[in-house]
Amino acid sequence: MNVQNPKGMKPGEARCPGPSTRDVILGDVTPTPAALLEESYTFLGDEDISYDRYTSADFLQREMDRMWTRVWQWVCREEDIPESGDHIVYDIGLYSFIIARQEDGSVKAFYNSCLHRGTQLRPTGAEGSADQFRCPYHGWTWALDGTLTDLPCEWDFPHVDQEKFELPEVHVDHWNGFVFINMDPDCAPLEDYLGVLPEHFANWRIDDRVAVARTEKILPSNWKASQEAFLEAYHILETHPQALPYAGDANAQYDTFGDHVSRFVQLLGSPSPHMADRITEDDILEQMGGYPAGSTVPEGTTARHMIAENMRKAVGEECGVDLSSYSDSETLDSIEYFVFPNMFVFPGINISVVYRFRPNGMDPDSSIMDLMLMKPVPEEGPRPEPADVVKLDVWDSYTTVPALGGLGGVYDQDTANLDMQQKGFKAAKKRGQTLGNYQEVRTRHVHQVLDKYLAD
Ligand code: FES
Ligand SMILES: [Fe+2]
């Protein structure tokens, strides 16, 4: 018998033996929203993915020229710039933008470069409030809306038509509490770009969540390698073995939707298929649910449902919201949507995080991971302020950020592999990575969509 091809299946058809994610969700006590029951997997091939894509400065330059300049990318949350004049600087590779709230409540995004001699109007990483942008070099000044308002010694610049010397802008749009930009003057609308996302998120109000922890960490790896550590649950077995008693891994569900969206749904409160035969419902309760040793799951219910019930109650009380409409899956599971090229958003309650991965300048061996841990905002009373960003260098541990709780150690496990992987890319005799047909399809999907942008 061919072990790789058990029942004469076509590539991509094989699945982990045992109950699938969908089987477990369909067996849940609470009804699950249709979006979570949808399956959308396509076999995308099994060729190796070349390591040059992760190590070559030329490749990064092509990504910058042809991809980053043409995609929608989220730059900040609405609550980062609530008032007129509030602004942040967003850098991507070579580029830098000032994202500024306008008097009428809209948002504009300007190239962060003076029209006199190019100086950045605001330094990298800056955030604050201003009613104008004044260049620190010779004092050329633009109003909040980008019109030129001051040009010292204008007698020397008869060739400058001041009416036309406004700061160049890029497209801005909004979705679910996020502000996006697109550098392509001819880009498709954000709503088209997001594909199924607005429909799937119709009942998931991420705009009603606020960051209670935020980090910006430098990672010692190409931006794609860094984010690929978060696109699959295959690594849980080796990288996060502590989670196996209560976390699905090999039975996670993977979907791709059009060019820009993919998803995994990974069960929690359900054991890994690697050890399901050794784990009882009572074990799950004790190891994930925080129930004392000796607690038992009564007949007619499941550990998963008991943990979800508790979580809806506890998080609801803590945050001042009613979470009773959330299903067990929406409450517990790790439901991860990805938006090309670099956005991760989790609509669940237990795992409610957002990630973004970017090249760190033009260094193919370094990237920036932005992370937000989100909580629902109270239904009554003022909206809490988002947490300040904690900057972490390559070797700083996520556990130094107390607000991340137990997730800090998990992110340390994820990011600990990256330095060795990036070095291994260069040390390799076999010049590319060999991906699983199902569990790593989202990584292949990203590369194939990237290739479409590079080829155009
Ligand atoms: S470079 Fe900006 S005013 Fe001269
Ligand atoms: Fe992980």
Between the CA of 112 and the centroid of ligand 2 the distance, in Å, is 35
Between the CA of 361 and the centroid of ligand 1 the distance, in Å, is 23
Residues of the chain with pLDDT under 70: 1-6
d(CA 412, CA 395): 10
pLDDT score of 235: 98
Between the CA of 139 and the centroid of ligand 1 the distance, in Å, is 6
Q: Which ligand is nearest to the CA of 233?
A: 2
The torsion angles phi and psi of 303, rounded to 5 degrees, stand at -60, -40
Beta strands in 285-406 (DSSP E): 334-339, 343-345, 353-360, 363-376, 389-392
pLDDT score of 195: 98
| Ligand 1 shell residues, CB under 6 Å | 114, 116-117, 119, 135, 137-140
- Which atom of ligand 1 is nearest to 135's Cα? 2
First vs last C-alpha separation in the chain: 44
Among 111, 135, 160, the mutation site with the greatest number of ligand 1 atoms within 8 A of its Cβ is: 135
- Residues with Cβ within 8 Å of 222's Cβ and at least 6 positions away in sequence, in order, are 53, 54, 55, 60, 359, 364, 365, 367, 422, 425
Secondary structure of residue 363 in the 3-state scheme = strand
- The residue assigned the tokens 């990805």 is 338
Domains (range + CATH), the chain: 21-55+203-455 (3.90.380), 73-191 (2.102.10.10)
pLDDT score of 291: 81
Nearest CA to ligand 1 atom 3: 138
- Which atom of ligand 1 is nearest to 152's Cα? 3
- Which atom of ligand 1 is nearest to 118's Cα? 1
